[in-house]
Amino acid sequence: MAEERKERVQLTCRDAGVDCDFVAEGESVEEIIAACAEHAETMHGMISFPPELWVKMRSRVRTVKT
Ligand SMILES: [Zn+2]
């Protein structure tokens, strides 16, 4: 059995400055950033993120305990 209390990371679309309730949650920062990028591309038509937005979003990642 895996440990019950696992830390997860969370990032919202709002963290990127978009008025949207999308929340990406996962086990690694890379995972949720990728999920956010995919969401932004499909839902907001953002084909690529400028480097400063990646930095901004990484700084907004929160750790949540489940
Ligand atoms: Zn969004």
* Cα 10 to chain centroid, rounded: 6
Task: Write the CA distances from 56 to 1, 18, 38, integer angstroms.
Answer: 36, 13, 17
Residue type, 14: R
pTM of the model: 0.80
Average pLDDT value for the chain: 90
- Across 45-66, average pLDDT: 89
CA of 45 to the centre of ligand 1 (A): 10
CA of 1 to the centre of ligand 1 (A): 35
pLDDT in tens, 21-40: 999 999 999 999 999 999 99
Torsion sign over Cα 46, 52, 55, 59 = negative
